[in-house]
Chain A
Amino acid sequence: MAHAEKATEFNKDEAKVNWHDKALWYVREKRDKSAHGVIGWEHLRDVASGIKANVLSNLDNYLIEFEKNAQNNGIKVHWASDAKEHNEIVSKILADNNAKKVVKSKSMLTEECHLNPHLEAQGIEVVDTDLGEYIVQIAKETPSHIVLPAIHKTKEEVDELFQEHLGTEPSGGNPEYLTNEARKHLRNKFLNADAAITGVNFAIAETGGIVVCTNEGNADMGSHLANVHIASMGIEKIIPKEKNLGVFLRLLARSATGQPITTYSSHFNKPAKGKEMHIVIVDNGRTEQLSREDFRASLHCIRCGACMNTCPIYRRSGGHSYDATIPGPIGSILSPGKDLTKHSSLPFASTLCGSCSNVCPVKINIHEQLYKWRQVIVKDVKQPVVKKSILKVAGGVLANRKLYNFSGRMARFMLKYAPRFIVYSKLNAWGKARDLPEVKGQNFDQWYKVKRKK
């Protein structure tokens, strides 16, 4: 289903849309306030964007450097061309360690690879331990936001889910109570896990180390308690030097939630004594995106979610309307690169207002890429005949003054004299909720001819 249809569905409950919009706008405002507190914010964005551009131009060498340094520190490095390879590598590591119980902290990459169903099919228990991800996991849903995975759920809905899955008392959706119940439940999972899977926020070529950022502490609880830690990362997570973290850690949390930094910024360089640490480096379409000059800057993304919080369409259509692992503006430029036909409506789910590009901490020109994807899509994906022919005809009309005069007059005539039931018929999406402009006696051309004879 196209974005517009799902968005229409979401908009049937206007109160919920209002809530969703306000909740995310509030996050955007917290981000503004936090960023205002940093002098040199725009310089930070410039540098961050520049570092990421450099990373792409030297990505192969940085990855080799990273691998070497990580291996020297006793970390095992694996490479996966696609989701299938990634999942097989993870399975093998788990099998080698006889691991049956896995705790996972937030990783959009493992969502992208559909790791959970893959492991579950092999009889492995996988528990998502980020509270938001845990909520969507037990609801058998997908995250609707990359930083706030359960933002589409009301507290009452969470209350019911917890009653069913955790046996909690009805609390009317008391967040403290529910969070504490989840804490108790998940603590048990952490203590009994054989392996922990985490994402990677940054991987440093110079040191071979990785940094994982969380607010809850779940990545650390998982990885330090289990005997095996598997960290999955896309190839674009590399940064050249450790000092570059200064730039990114200042931007990331402020852009994401308005916090000055996440509660925990954990730097993993060596496995703990007697434990194993694995890093899986994943391509899964990223090098293909790298080949597209117009779209490669989408690989700068540090997954802060700021573009979602600021996007007036995302806020009013909900993350699930995008039907993609990464929703919102950034998802709308990443997803078409993976499956152009499936995601062909996403670049059109935008007014091209440009707020996303201006809020992005790594200055991805998101709205310009949306425009460019549109040009690609109408050529490569079959378009509705009506839309296509109307716009093709329009191209001819606008290039020809006589045709333009004629059609302008016709349009004005129709607007003025056609019966209201035709103008506001079902075919007219404009007129469902909006009046059409009132037609004046003459157009400007006619007025000008009479009033300004030069």
Chain B
Amino acid sequence: MGREAILKSIKENKPTGIPLPEIDLNNFIEDINLLEEFKEKAQVVGGTINELESSETIEDVIKKQYPNAKEIVDCSKKLTSLTSISISEETNPKDLQNIDLAIIQGEFGVAENGAVWISENSFPVRVLPFITNDLVLVLEKEKICQHMHEGFQLISERERTFGVFISGPSKTADIEQCLVVGAQGAMSLSVILI
């Protein structure tokens, strides 16, 4: 019923022959240090940045920042040896409600907005980065692109299931425009640059 009527009505009423414009990326060329720009933006949006020193391990940084975290899910594929609750695709997402900390490997960061792309390949249960109290994203310093146009080039060949750009912790300003960090998703986000 709806489908045919809608399509027919569109066909009868649409304008004709408007080409799809191409974007000219030359308009966005900027001489910037991608890493510095990313670090700045990731903090502007409320995230924390940790750059790993040569003497440190990711584990040291996490322990220092989240000393009280007990229920930890580490999806970073052996980047740390933190005792972790093991989860799989079969895990009931509701069972993750008491997770203190999730560690997920970011695929790349975007300098213009401090966002990090993570996809289902790196975390077997979709709700994990949202339901966890605190979120740690581990990102290689070399993997930072300038803007979203580059970002979408980087994920153009992915297996499409679920993925998300995350920029900072969950937040809201719905009460009198006062910014409050920690709405329905993770209360904090820290990006560890390795």
Contacts and interface: CB of A to CB of B under 8 A. Distances in A.
Are A and B associated in one complex? yes
Interface of A: 23, 26-27, 38-40, 43-44, 46-47, 50-51, 53-54, 56-60, 63-64, 73, 78-81, 85, 129-132, 135, 148-151, 153-155, 158, 173, 175-176, 178-180, 183, 186-187, 190-191, 207, 209, 215-218, 220-221, 224-225, 235, 240-243, 245-247, 249-250, 257, 259-270, 272-273, 281, 283, 287-288, 290-291, 293, 296
A379 to B, nearest CB: 21
Given A224-B130, A245-B148, A265-B164, A26 B115 contact: no
A154 B176 contact: yes
Contacts of A273: 89
Contacts of B57: none
A98 B145 CA distance: 45
Q: Count chain A CB atoms within 10 A of each CB in B7, B44, B184 and give the residue with the most.
A: B184
B151 A221 contact: no
Interface string B1-39: 111011101111111111111011001101000000000
A225 B177 CA distance: 29
B131 interface: yes
A243 B21 CA distance: 12
B152 A27 contact: no
Contact of B127 (A207, A221, A263): A221
A40 B28 contact: yes
Contacts of A81: 1-2, 5-6
Contacts, number: 262
Given A73-B160, A191-B94, A247-B23, 4 more contacts: A173-B175, A187-B97, A249-B165, A266-B164
A202 to B, nearest CB: 12
B184 A186 contact: yes
Contacts of A175: 175-176, 178, 180
A215 B177 CA distance: 13
A220 B180 contact: no
B184 A267 contact: no
Contacts of B2: 78-81, 85, 281, 283
B25 to A, nearest CB: 9
23 contacts: A23-B176, A26-B177, A40-B28, A56-B18, A60-B14, A63-B10, A73-B160, A130-B174, A155-B175, A175-B180, A179-B175, A186-B184, A191-B94, A215-B183, A216-B183, A224-B127, A242-B152, A263-B166, A268-B162, A269-B160, A269-B161, A283-B9, A290-B13
A285 B19 CA distance: 25
B113 to A, nearest CB: 3
A151 B177 contact: yes
Interface of B: 1-3, 5-7, 9-21, 23-24, 27-28, 30, 41, 44-45, 89, 93-94, 97, 110, 112-115, 125-127, 130-131, 147-149, 151-153, 156, 160-178, 180, 182-186
Nearest to B115: A261
Contact of B167 (A148, A178, A260, A291): A260
Contacts of A218: 183-185
Nearest to A37: B112
Contacts of B174: 130-132, 135, 148-150, 179
B160 A296 contact: no
A220 B12 contact: no
B178 A293 contact: no
Given A154-B176, A263-B45, A207 B14 contact: no
A224 B7 contact: no
A221 B18 CA distance: 39
- Interface of chain B, main secondary structure: loop
Given A57-B16, A272-B162, A287 B6 contact: yes
Given A80-B2, A242-B152, A270-B162, A263 B167 contact: yes
B30 A39 contact: yes
B3 A47 contact: no
A85 B5 CA distance: 12
Nearest to B6: A283
Nearest to A287: B9
A261 B18 contact: no
B162 A267 contact: yes
Contact of A262 (B17, B21, B167, B175): B167
A163 to B, nearest CB: 14
Contacts of B153: 243
A78 B1 CA distance: 10
B165 A261 contact: yes
Contacts of B30: 39
B16 A47 contact: no
Nearest to B28: A40
Nearest to B16: A57
A252 to B, nearest CB: 11
Contacts of B94: 191, 225
B42 to A, nearest CB: 10
A235 B10 contact: yes
Contact of B45 (A60, A259, A291, A296): A259
Contacts of A266: 162-164
Contacts of A40: 27-28
